[in-house]
Amino acid sequence: MDVPQSPGPSSIRELSHCYRALLGGACPKLSGAEVARLLFSGVCGQVPERDTQEGAEAAWELIVFSLTLLRKICCGVSAHSLHGAVRGPWRDILSLLTRFAPQVLHFQSEDQVISHLAAKSASVCVLYLISTSGAVSAVWQKQCVQAFSSSPPGPELDACLWSLTEVIKKLLKQSNQEVLAAFDCSLTALCSKLLPEERTEVGFGGSWRTTFCLLLDLLEVLTASGLVCGAGLSLRSQRIPAVQSAALLLTVSCCSDYFVKKRILLLLKRVLLQKLGEDWSLEGAALSVREHRDLRADRCVLTQCVLQAVAADWLQSLQVERAVFFGGREKEGLKPDGTMLRAVSLVLLKSIELHLQTAAAAEVDSYLQSLWSWLRRLDVSQTEVSHSCSWLSLLFGEQDDDLMEASSASLYSVLEAACASGCNPHCHFVLLLQSLSFDHSILLDFLISSETCFLEYFVRYLKYLRGDWRGFAAACGHRNRGEGLQPGGSVPPLEGSSSGSGLRLVEYDSSDESSEETPDGNKQSETTAALTTDRSSNLKTKPSLSMIQSEKVCPTAAAVLEEETCDVLDRVVSCLSELRQVVTRLQTKQLFPYNPSSLLKLLAQVENCYQRSPLS
């Protein structure tokens, strides 16, 4: 198709008529060939010499409008929003244009609006061509491969990275290994070019930052693609987060760009937690990822790289910025960036968990002590944390999902001196219940929510508790005596919170109810009504002994508290008992979203352990 040297002034008016016809669900007045020629000339028209501002603006407007209209046509035809005889002419227009992919001419445009619109339009057209013919646009593929192989960080490489990421996202549930294979070598070469091989200062300004972050997005999509569709990680580019994990960790140490450091750690965290692509809300994606053996092998590689880096004092090279408030500037007294702290901590805790599944626990304590020392150096806590088990609640108390993942990881890290290492599962569970004011209804919220892995953690912990009742009683005794807690019986919040409740996830004492979430929308109102009836009054947390001593309350009150050595244990068991009763009632009424029989059995066994205990 020939390209006119200079688009006529009437081009944008004629394209505007086409756009209105498309929105109205009508056929264009011009023939399909004429519309295709107008679009092709509009997209390909080079911006003329900017001798006049009016001419430059007109050319810019024509290119932007043509790119937008072409994308709209693809979306309309693909979504089947055009019916009957109307759909035919628009489909004919696409058949004349999609194989040429004229949008790629603007991938290297310095105008960010044009470059991004070209990438969006090209991605939609590539997907349309794949869906209708099973073929990938040769022009688009060649442009991307060349950019990955030789282009420096900049607009062209960014557009290609974004476009390929978008295409793979849309094809994520389909078997697309053949599509990806064409880019495997060039993407591997690109990563080798951008990732450092030795400790040097990394960063080349704003262009490098944008390109690198787009590359991280693509790496996550590539890794998820083979796992979700069930084809496995057969391509090297799909395994880059694991294969290049040492280089990624080195980039975190050497990179001068804090945002890039954080993005890398969040990617590694999602790989280790098997939550790749969860932000895209793909039904069934998480299940497919969890079941695949390729990811298990890659996570083992990543785990060893993390532990080797920590052993080589990698943590000491990490700098964490202070949190920022809404105005965007640092505020005096704010704590370190919680997102960064949680990402680093979860990467290490999950690595330790995976390591312990195949190795001895001899050297694990040194990794944990390195983590706690790093947190102390950053002044994460407002006061000294004397009991290391408090770190998990301190770090993750404001993020339910991360807290459950960290607590679950600690179940594998049971060492001889668990409290000294900060990984006593009993301490973590008791601290969690204290933060919830021992409110069983909040545990119920967690059980029926799909936003955390609480059910998995809860079942595993109850099994652990059933086999170590003595250790559980000892942990409750620590809490009774206020060991490891700050004055007032709680650990201060991590960042920027004015709440005095410390460990509490939310101020549940101040409300009578919390929201329920059930996977079955038809049962939600009935379940909510039942839960409201079943909720007991929220219990106020009693002051700890350290609080009474610090406030010099009368000696009689202090003596009473010391005698109540079973207070926390009683409240924990009472909370679990109330939870069992509520779940049983909901199951009887067929209002519980899944079969809780195994969970109820475990809860009943815990109550039996308590009744047989001399402390009951």
Contact 443, 461 (CB under 8 A): no
Candidate from 121-135, 272-286, 448-462 with smallest mean pLDDT: 272-286
Exposed/middle/buried for 613, CB within 10 Å: 0-12, 13-18, 19+? middle
Q: In this model, does residue 150 exceed pLDDT 70?
A: yes
In the chain, domain spans: 1-100, 423-479+559-615
pTM of the predicted protein model: 0.83
User: For 36-83, what is each residue's pLDDT tens digit?
Assistant: 999 999 998 754 444 567 777 888 999 999 999 999 999 999 888 888
Q: What is the pLDDT of residues 365-381, one digit of tens each?
A: 889 999 999 998 888 87
Query: Where is mean pLDDT largest: 307-321, 347-361, 489-503?
Result: 307-321
Per residue in 469-500, pLDDT (tens digit) is 999 998 888 777 665 546 334 444 444 333 33
- Give me the mean pLDDT over the 606-614 stretch: 89
Look at residue 200 and tell me whether its pLDDT is greater than 70. Answer: no
**Average pLDDT of 511-521?**
37
Give the number of residues written for the chain: 616
Q: How many CB atoms lie within 10 A of CB 495?
A: 17
Query: Among all chains, which residue has been given the structure tokens 């890039």?
Result: 260
Q: What is the rounded average pLDDT for all residues in the chain?
A: 80
Q: Up-side HSE of residue 472: CA atoms within 13 Å toward CB?
A: 23
Task: Report the b/e string of 60-72 with b at 16+ CB within 10 A.
Answer: eebbbbbbebbbb
Over 60: is that where the pLDDT of 420 sits? yes
pLDDT at site 121: 96
- Paired strand residues for 255: 202
Q: Which pLDDT score, from 0 to 100, does residue 456 have?
A: 93
The answer to whether 367 and 355 have CB atoms below 8 angstroms apart is no
DSSP string, 507-523: -GGG-S------S-GGG
Ranking 352-356, 411-415, 483-487 by mean pLDDT, the lowest is: 483-487
Reported as a single tens digit per residue, the pLDDT across 379-397 is: 887 667 778 888 898 899 8
Label residue 337 left, alpha or beta by phi (over 0 means left) and psi (-120 to 50 means alpha). Answer: beta
How far is residue 249's CA from residue 468's CA, in Å, rounded to a whole number? 38
Confidence of residue 176 (pLDDT cuts 50, 70, 90): low
Question: Which of 93-102, 319-328, 524-533 shows the lowest per-residue confidence on average (mean pLDDT)?
Answer: 524-533
Helix (H, G, I), strand (E, B) or coil at 322: strand
pLDDT of residue 325: 61
Q: How many helices (H) and strands (E) does the chain have?
A: 29, 0
Region of poorest pLDDT, from 355-364, 365-374, 498-507 = 498-507
Distance CA 92, CA 89 (A): 5
Complete DSSP assignment for 76-111: HHHTT-S-GGGHHHHHHHHHHHTTT-GGGGGTT-S-
